[in-house]
């Protein structure tokens, strides 16, 4: 067996056989198999539930699970779980959250939770005919949807609107049905897709019954929710008097510091190269909370970046301003999150994260996630306009290198002292250890 051989029937192997098969691809297959096994949960039931979340699972891939304490959102204090492997993100979000907590915290100023989905289809018949029949078709589709939506309606959600949109200007014969839905505390992907697939089937049925004699004039292309959720956004803000920036302004006078902060945010509004990195700093916080609460961070990433380019140019999602001696920061971001359904109930730590947050509603969670995003963003910009980000990274960077090199406690202490005022790099640390060991 070489790495170039096609393997057939892999999914049919037992979990142990899969592990064994994959371990044989590694230099030390015994060690590889042992490692894959060591990272599995001990409890049989938990382990099998966890592994069944995905397919072809042979182990679990661990990510550090930390807490950003004291995130104040609308006057309520949250100690927020974050799952992220990147060093400094949790520390930076924590410092920033604490800073803003002492200045009133974050305020959610706007919130909407509408989800969208589409059925795309081609209509080869007379365009006027489909417009004429639209009212009747709409009633037919909505009536059929009632059996799927009754539970959601009972919980306060359901269908908000259904529209027929003519897309023939961009693609010949193409139309789409646009469904707007309120999904309350669930992210709603399954619910929206079930509604859409039912509509696709009903669409076909409606025109077949309608026009049984003619050749087929309708072709459904696909039915799928949209991860672009410009109507499912949250806006969070924080503000303080410029004077109160003193503890974090470093050597800069507060006015200069505030001005540099605003300039950094302005650059990210105007220059896409900078905007991408600026938004990455927001998503550091956002994704970590989404991961920890079992939410779909890929959906959030895709939506956030599309939203950042909504006027045709990619821009920063957050802004900073100074008015009448007050500095204000603000973030608006699309966030389709759930606190019920999906893996929020299945992943043991996701469930616990929600408990730590006091079992929030989806809207409350949107506010928390966005606040951690803004806290992370502010921490990054603050470092960039004062000390630079490397200083903060160095301690953890050094610790990671020392772990990689398996040093003992004595060597660690000597290295920490030596590198407290020197540049850290893998080679520099290796060289230093070589010197002290010989």
Residues labelled catalytic: 86, 280, 296, 393
Least distance (Å) from ligand MEV to the CB of residue 278?
Answer: 5
Candidate ranges 72-80, 105-113, 275-283, 364-372; the one touching ligand MEV (CB under 6 A):
275-283
Least distance (Å) from ligand MEV to the CB of residue 250?
Answer: 16
Distance of CA 420 to the CA centre of its chain: 35
Least distance (Å) from ligand MEV to the CB of residue 265?
Answer: 10
Q: Is 183 in the site for ligand MEV (CB under 6 A)?
A: no
Distance of CA 74 to the CA centre of its chain: 22
Q: Tokens in use for 311? A: 């006027």
Residue in 336, 335, 272, 346 with CA at minimum distance from that of residue 308: 272
Nearer to ligand MEV, 233 or 284 (CB): 284
Candidate ranges 5-13, 96-104, 204-212, 273-281; the one touching ligand MEV (CB under 6 A):
273-281
- Is the Cβ–Cβ distance between 340 and 186 less than 8 Å? yes
Q: Is 278 in the site for ligand MEV (CB under 6 A)?
A: yes
Q: Is 151 in the site for ligand MEV (CB under 6 A)?
A: no
Candidate ranges 72-80, 123-131, 277-285, 314-322; the one touching ligand MEV (CB under 6 A):
277-285
Q: Is 425 in the site for ligand MEV (CB under 6 A)?
A: no
Nearer to ligand MEV, 306 or 389 (CB): 389
Least distance (Å) from ligand MEV to the CB of residue 284?
Answer: 5
The residues, ordered by sequence, that sit 6+ positions from 378 with a Cβ below 8 Å of its Cβ are 96, 100, 238, 329
Q: How far apart are CA 65 and CA 249, in angstroms?
A: 30
**Contact string 71-110 vs ligand MEV (x = CB under 6 A):** ---------------x------------------------
Nearer to ligand MEV, 168 or 387 (CB): 387
Query: Rounded to the nearest 5 degrees, what angle is found at the Cα of 311, between the Cα atoms of 306 and 313?
Result: 75
Q: Is 277 in the site for ligand MEV (CB under 6 A)?
A: yes
Number of residues interacting with ligand MEV: please give it, by CB under 6 A.
Answer: 10
Candidate ranges 176-184, 188-196, 380-388, 413-421; the one touching ligand MEV (CB under 6 A):
380-388
Q: Is 389 in the site for ligand MEV (CB under 6 A)?
A: yes
* Burial class of residue 3 (count of CB atoms within 10 Å of its CB; 0-12, 13-18, 19+): exposed
Q: Is 387 in the site for ligand MEV (CB under 6 A)?
A: no
Candidate ranges 141-149, 302-310, 381-389, 409-417; the one touching ligand MEV (CB under 6 A):
381-389
Residue of minimal CB distance from ligand MEV?
281
Nearer to ligand MEV, 206 or 257 (CB): 257
Binding ligand MEV (rule: CB under 6 A), the pick from 130, 289, 336, 380 is 380
Residue in 223, 37, 38, 210 with CA at minimum distance from that of residue 148: 223
Q: How far apart are CA 6 and CA 404, in angstroms?
A: 34
Binding ligand MEV (rule: CB under 6 A), the pick from 185, 284, 339, 344 is 284
Nearer to ligand MEV, 142 or 252 (CB): 252
Nearer to ligand MEV, 98 or 274 (CB): 274
Least distance (Å) from ligand MEV to the CB of residue 81?
Answer: 19
Q: Is 280 in the site for ligand MEV (CB under 6 A)?
A: yes
Binding ligand MEV (rule: CB under 6 A), the pick from 66, 117, 281, 373 is 281
Least distance (Å) from ligand MEV to the CB of residue 288?
Answer: 11
Q: Is 13 in the site for ligand MEV (CB under 6 A)?
A: no
Report in angstroms the alpha-carbon separations of 187 from 11, 86, 260, 408. Answer: 29, 26, 38, 47
> Applying CB under 6 A, which residues contact ligand MEV?
86, 277-278, 280-281, 284, 380-381, 384, 389
């Amino acid at each position: 067996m070489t790495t170039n051989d096609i393997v057939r029937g892999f999914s049919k192997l037992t979990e142990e056989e899969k592990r064994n098969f994959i371990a044989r691809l590694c230099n030390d297959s015994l060690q590889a198999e042992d490692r894959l096994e060591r990272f599995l949960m001990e409890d049989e039931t938990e382990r099998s539930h966890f592994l069944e979340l995905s397919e072809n699972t042979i182990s679990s891939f661990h990510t550090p699970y930390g807490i950003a304490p004291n995130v104040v959102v609308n006057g309520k204090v949250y100690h927020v779980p974050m799952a992220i492997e990147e060093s400094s993100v949790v520390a930076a979000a924590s410092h920033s959250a604490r800073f803003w907590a002492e200045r009133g915290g974050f305020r959610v100023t706007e919130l909407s939770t509408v989800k969208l989905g589409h059925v795309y289809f081609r209509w080869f018949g007379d365009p006027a005919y489909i417009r004429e029949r639209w009212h009747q078709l709409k009633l037919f589709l909505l009536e059929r949807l009632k059996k799927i939506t009754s539970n959601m309606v009972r919980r306060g959600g359901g269908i908000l609107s259904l529209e027929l949109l003519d897309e023939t200007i961009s693609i010949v014969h193409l139309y789409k049905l646009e469904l707007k839905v309120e999904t309350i505390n669930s992210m709603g992907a399954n619910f929206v897709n079930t509604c859409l697939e039912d509509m696709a089937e009903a669409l076909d049925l409606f025109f077949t019954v309608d026009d049984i004699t003619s050749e087929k004039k309708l072709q459904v292309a696909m039915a799928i929710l949209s991860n672009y959720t410009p109507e499912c956004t949250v806006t969070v803000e924080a503000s303080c008097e410029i004077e109160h920036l003193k503890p974090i302004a470093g050597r800069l006078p507060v006015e200069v510091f505030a001005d540099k902060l605003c300039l950094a945010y302005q650059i990210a509004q105007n220059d896409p190269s900078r905007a991408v990195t600026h938004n990455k700093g927001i998503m550091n916080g956002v994704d970590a909370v989404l991961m920890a609460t079992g939410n779909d961070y890929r959906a959030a990433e895709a939506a956030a970046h599309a939203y950042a380019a909504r006027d045709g140019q990619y821009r920063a999602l957050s802004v900073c301003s100074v008015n009448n001696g007050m500095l204000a920061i603000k973030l608006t971001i699309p966030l389709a999150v759930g606190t019920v359904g999906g893996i929020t109930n299945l992943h043991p730590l996701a469930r616990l994260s929600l408990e730590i947050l006091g079992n929030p509603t989806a809207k409350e969670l949107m506010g928390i996630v966005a606040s951690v995003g803004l806290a992370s963003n502010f921490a990054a910009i603050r470092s960039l306009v004062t000390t630079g980000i490397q200083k903060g990274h160095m301690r953890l960077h050094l610790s990671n290198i020392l772990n990689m090199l398996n040093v003992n406690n004595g060597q660690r202490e000597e290295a920490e002292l030596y590198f407290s005022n020197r540049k850290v790099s893998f080679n520099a640390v290796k060289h230093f250890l070589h010197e002290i060991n010989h």
